[in-house]
Structures are given as structure tokens and as C-alpha cells.
């Protein structure tokens, strides 16, 4: 529960443009996103590229997120 509250706080701060909050979210979700990408990628480099593209897209769409508590999109925490 505390992790969820902490994550929501970071999502709200990221929506406000705080770059350290964006970085915190990226670091938190990178391992799971990379693991998933690696399952369907041809190489570790392709998996990393896919995660980077995903994180950039998430960052650009962040202002449209209506429910910060839904930010993990099923990725879970670390």
C-alpha cells in the first residue's frame, strides 16, 4: 500500500513536469518492461530500444492520465 501511495505521488509530480519523478518512475518500471520486451525481442539491444520508446511514449502521454493510481498499467512495482 505504501508503495502505491509513493508511486501515485511520483506520477502526480511527473505530470507537473518534475524530471526527478519521471526518472524515478522509469527506474522503477525498467526491469519489468525490459523483461517483457526481451521475451518478444530478437536481442537485448532491441528490447532496450523498445523499452525506451515505451517510456518516451508514456512520458508524452502522462499529462492525459486521469487516474494516477492506474499508472502502473499492470506492470506492478519493483
Report pLDDT digits (tens) over 21-56. Answer: 999 999 999 999 999 999 999 999 999 999 999 999
Q: What is the pLDDT of residue 3?
A: 67
Q: Determine if the pTM surpasses 0.85.
A: no
Instruction: Look up residue 66 and give its three cell numbers.
Output: 486521469
Q: Calculate Rg over the CA atoms of the chain.
A: 13
Higher pLDDT, 69 or 53: 53
Domains in the chain: ranges and CATH: 2-67 (1.10.1740.10)
| The pLDDT of residue 66 is above 60 | yes
User: How far is Cα 29 from Cα 77, in angstroms, rounded to an integer?
Assistant: 7
pLDDT surpasses 80 at 20 = yes
Residues in the chain: 78
Pick from 69, 73, 41, 45: which is nearest to 58 by CA?
73
Amino acid at each position: 500500500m505504501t508503495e502505491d501511495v509513493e508511486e501515485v505521488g511520483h506520477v502526480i509530480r511527473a505530470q507537473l513536469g518534475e524530471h526527478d519523478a519521471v526518472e524515478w518512475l522509469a527506474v522503477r518500471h525498467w526491469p519489468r518492461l525490459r523483461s517483457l520486451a526481451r521475451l518478444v525481442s530478437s536481442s537485448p539491444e532491441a528490447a532496450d530500444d523498445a523499452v525506451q520508446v515505451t517510456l518516451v511514449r508514456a512520458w508524452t502521454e502522462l499529462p492525459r492520465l486521469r487516474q494516477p493510481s492506474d499508472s502502473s498499467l499492470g506492470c506492478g512495482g519493483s
